[in-house]
Structure 1
Amino acid sequence: MTPNRRAVIDIGSNSIRLVVYAGSVRSPVPIYNEKSRVSLGACLNGDSVIDEDTMERAVGAIARLHRVAEMMEVDWLRVIATAATREARNGPELVKRAAKLGIKIDVIDGQAEALASGMGIISEHPDADGYVGDLGGGSLELVRIKNGQLKESVSLPLGTLRIGEFRNMAAKQVAQHIQQHLTTANGDDKFLIEPGLPFYLIGGSWRSLARLHMFVTEFPLAVLSNYRLPSEAPADLLELTRNATAVAETKVVPSGRMAALPDATSLLAGIARLFQPSHFLTSISGIREGLLFGKLKKAEQREDPLIAAVRFEGKRLSRFSYHGDALADWIAPLFTTDSPEMERLRQCACLLADSAWQVSPEYRATHSLNFALDGSWPSIGPHERAILAAALMAAHGQKNSWPTILLQLAEHRELMKAMQWGLAIRLALRLDGGSGAALTESRFEADAGKLQLTLNGDFARLRSGSVERRLDRLAISLGHGGSEVVSFGGQSLRQRLFKG
């Protein structure tokens, strides 16, 4: 399987960054991430001229990152520049110097930047209904998304390099400033604000705030993707973020984000006051992911990003001809009352069923725990990760006792349901050795309080004590009085169904 490598060089106000992606076309995974701390945006509060030293360092960083991308043999590369370059009086000089090196820089305007950020959120949440805020050093992009469609958008000069006066303001004052900027930017075309909707957070400073919130609340999983903050969190953390010594002692905020954290928190407290969101949701998808998503065909964009990601990984890690979808269909009749959300996670567990075979057997359950909790899975949060982990752990031998972290992230009844999925998967892995060959010639039936596994034709020879024990444990977990393996010798299921 040859990955399709794509890359973006993002020339921002605080840094210049290269991200190289591979994996599923629908849900690409960063395989390389490098940034150079070149603050082009330092000019924004002065004479709007990039000084010569900064200009040379920027050109050098762009040249290096471009060469790194070439050496990685990327199939597609785009170099973009945002607020600092487009607003600096000598921004065109940076573009010219890069062009002499054979590097084309696209300087995108604020509207295009906002729309790309919105597309980044839609790439991970196809049915998103809420607001997006992308905070950079030079600007703040706000986008309204409704039912997975881009609506109003605006770019405001409220990046972290420009909002130092917000640091000691009350949230009400900050909200008033944001409203004034919205009015100035849009004029008569109002950016309508509907309260009670999710607000998606993009940007390193707001991710740092999420890390701090995790620390303060002792949240057990340090995965930022889709981490949920209550709407009052920015106001609650304001005092702490203004104490640099206390923040440093937590050791969870990157040193490069320390200076901007109080301003970014004050800005978000003002947003909370103005937008009155239901909650904030931290996103690791933004402008770069939006650009990649925009390249896809409509049919590809409509794919479920989570299913696409786990199917790619499951196929990559599988021992045999891939049959994760067939396995999902095989166990589905046992779980007809699952909600659509749980059905989706059940399918993910099946798609990843054969992902731990290369690990020593006694460590497969633990490996599955970490794989589910820490993997690059789009569009799900800690709660869903815990349920997926429980299913994969059960599939690889975990008994009824759960690690504390899972009990902190999901309800016991959800973990028990996931365990049932895992036991069904575990039975399949033993029935035909994980090859998937028996799935089309076997099926489940419930009869007289028993769970029956029917094997057809020559597949009746797969019956064994180990298969019967795994079937019995599955039956007990599902509330059946017992289990039985039933054989139809001689003819396959296909032959019997289509006889004559």
Structure 2
Amino acid sequence: MTRAPGRLFTGAPVAVIDIGSNSVRLVVYEALSRALTPIFNEKALCGLGREVLSTGRLPQDAVDRALAALKRFRALCDAMEVGEVHALATAAARDAENGPAFIAECEAICGRKIELLTGKREAELAAAGVVAGVHAPDGIVGDLGGGSLELVDVKGRAIGTGVTLPLGGLALQDRSSRSPRKAEKIVRETIPEAEVLGALAGRTFYAVGGTWRALARLHMYTKGYPLHVMHGYVIPAREALDFTRIVHRADAEALAHIDVVSDARRPLLAYGALVLENIVRQGRPSEVVISALGVREGLLHSLMPEEERVRDPLLIAAAEMNVLRSRSPRHGEELVAWTDGFFASAPVLEEAEDEKRLRRAACLLADVSWRAHPDYRGEQSLNMIAHAAFAGIDHPGRAYVALSVYFRHMGLNTDESDTRILELLTTGMLDRARILGAVMRVAYVLSAAMPGILPQMPLQVRGDQLVLSVPRKVVSLVNDRVYNRLRQLARLIGREPLLEQGD
């Protein structure tokens, strides 16, 4: 394969083939990394699980579609020179009478062993996906597939024992003979069996799976939400109850913005809404958070060495983008250290640990749009960062990092920015973003984005002064423009600017 300048080559691409009860999917990642970056993602909605509970068998037409998809996936993996292909199958293949024969055909096509996940194993991998993609998770993970619902407790990096319930969308559709009333009775009788939900009160419910993502997308567009990124999308529990009740009792085609959900997903929306409503009602979480990372990412996460799993995926992804798009990646790293010193010197700007990691990510991303026209560097940075495929960051964090870099390019006013994204920030976060933008404005006019300069010129708060120390040998780098930006920053933090010349 010819190496592309826009790709990192830290190892061969790695792929996961996921043979689910509703969809069969191939995802190819750039490499096995803590910051997994998909370079190809395709699914075929085959409906393998649609009749398993009533007939005990995988439908032949669904089997044929799945096998055809797998032949294409095998050819794509060969063309993309994938190093490792991991294949797994879930509830439908696990429960069907003809499941073993189907798996054998799949293995012959894929040329490798397919792991047939138990319900417990599927729950644990879904939780590992949330651990991989959410910063410091604390709650219950629910993975809703076509055939089953897996539930498991997660706190930090600790994963509990998973349970599985036959409440997948296709399974419910089959068991209820497409009767909403029967489906509601089944769900209400089954959900209380999940003792793990007793530990959900006041915590977060992490929703994994295509049907719940489709439901959240519908909610997002109904609300006119300003950021169309699914991972990390939050629905308060009370609102989740109201919205799911509307969806499962209404004709999906009549819902506003239903066009944002694919035709193939719409029939299962009501069943997914019914399950989520009853989970929220019984478990009483504080909020529902959508995780775009699940079983596939959890599988790869589990294959990494321990020292890789404990790393911060946001900072790794920001560092990778810094390498790929900045004028000087080393300057970005120096900017992190330079701002470390500045914020540590100012007690009034004391940072929590999460604020510190967001600030460091912003420093690494501060120069990624330098090739754009100067008038649009801020706008391009804001869009690129806010919509990037980052893990380990919530939506307010995205807005904070994106606006910090926007301010670095465009000045500290919000008049010309995408003001809708401001809705995601508290007043305090917006103030910190403006201060960080001002700090970066000093750094870039001083250094021209070149390495080796910032380490010589520490920026510190001393009492009521903001001091930029300038060694004699580089004093020619300082002019009125540098001083004006220093004065602008000083005004923001209530200090007097001082240029201090040293030896």
Q: TM-score, normalised by structure 1?
A: 0.90
Distance 2:182 2:366 in 1: 52
Pairs aligned (count): 481
Structure 1 runs of 4+ aligned residues shifted over 6 Å read: 169-173
Equivalent residues in 2 for 1:96-495 (5 A)? Answer: 96-101=104-109, 102-125=111-134, 127-164=136-173, 165=176, 167-168=180-181, 174-180=187-193, 182=194, 192-237=198-243, 238-241=245-248, 242-247=250-255, 249-336=257-344, 337-401=350-414, 402-446=417-461, 449-481=464-496, 483-489=497-503
Distance 2:411 2:300 in 1: 39
Distance in 2 (CA, whole Å) between partners of 1:146 and 1:413 is 28
Distance 1:54 1:170 in 2: 23
Q: What is the RMSD of the two structures over their aligned residues, measured on CA atoms?
A: 2.2
| Aligned residue identity for 2:35 | S
Seen in structure 2, the aligned counterparts of structure 1 residues 126 and 357 have a Cα distance that, compared at 3 Å, is: closer
Aligned 8 A contact 2:23 2:43 in 1 = yes
- Percent identity reads 34
Please say if residues 24 and 312 of structure 1, whose CA atoms lie closer than 8 Å, have aligned partners that are also in contact: no
88-97 vs 239-248, greater mean Cα deviation: 239-248
SS of 1:163's partner is helix
Classify the secondary structure of the residue corresponding to 2:311.
coil
- The amino acid that maps onto 2:402 is A
One-letter amino acid of the counterpart of residue 74, structure 2: H
Structure 2 letter corresponding to 1:208: A
From the superposition, tell whether residues 262 and 457 of structure 1 become closer, same or farther in structure 2 (CA, over 3 Å). Answer: same
- 1:59 pairs with 47, 52, 67, which one? 67
Give the partner amino acid of 1:79.
A
Q: Distance in 1 between matches of 2:130 and 2:166?
A: 21
Letter in 1 for 2:266: M
CA spacing shift, 1:135–1:368, aligned 2, 3 Å: same
Q: Is the 8 A contact 1:247 1:253 kept in 2?
A: no
CA distance 1:288–1:296, change in 2 (3 Å): same
Listed one character per residue, the Cα deviations across residues 152-208 of structure 1 (whole Å, up to 9, x for unaligned) are 21111111012234833797973432124x47xxxxxx7753422111000111111
Partners of 2:70 and 2:462 in 1: how far apart?
Answer: 68
The Cα shift of 1:390 comes to: 1.5
C-alpha distance after superposition, 1:41-93 (max 9, x if no partner): 12313322234443333222111112202211122210111111111111121
In the alignment, which residue of structure 2 is the partner of 1:187? none
In the alignment, is the contact (CA less than 8 A) between 1:172 and 1:270 conserved in 2? no
Find the residue that maps to 1:421 and give its secondary structure. Answer: helix
Cα deviation code 1:257-297 (max 9, x no counterpart): 11011111011111112211111111101000101100111
Contact 1:451 1:480 survives alignment (8 Å): yes
Query: Is the partner of 1:289 in helix, strand or coil?
Result: helix
Distance in 1 (CA, whole Å) between partners of 2:440 and 2:258 is 42
Say whether the 8 Å CA contact 1:173–1:270 is kept in structure 2. no
In the TM superposition, residue 14 of structure 1 has moved relative to its aligned partner by 0.9
1:332 match: secondary structure: helix
In the alignment, the residues of structure 2 paired with residue 358 and residue 13 of structure 1 have an alpha-carbon distance, to the nearest angstrom, of 45
**1:314 and 1:191 mapped to 2: Cα distance?**
42
Q: How far off is 1:23 after superposition?
A: 6.3
Distance (Å, rounded) in 2 between the aligned partners of 1:445 and 1:410? 27
Return closer, same or farther for 1:194/1:228 CA change in 2, 3 Å cut-off.
Answer: closer
- TM-score computed with the length of structure 2 as normaliser: 0.90
**What secondary structure is seen at the aligned counterpart in 1 of 2:371?**
coil
Question: Structure 2: which 5+ runs fail to align?
Answer: 1-7, 345-349
Q: Which amino acid aligns with 1:205?
A: T
Q: 2:3 maps to which residue?
A: none
Q: Structure 1 stretch 27-36 or stretch 121-130: which is displaced more? A: 121-130
Q: Are the aligned partners of 1:213 and 1:233 in contact in 2 as well (CA < 8 Å)? A: no
Q: What secondary structure sits across from 2:273 in the alignment?
A: helix
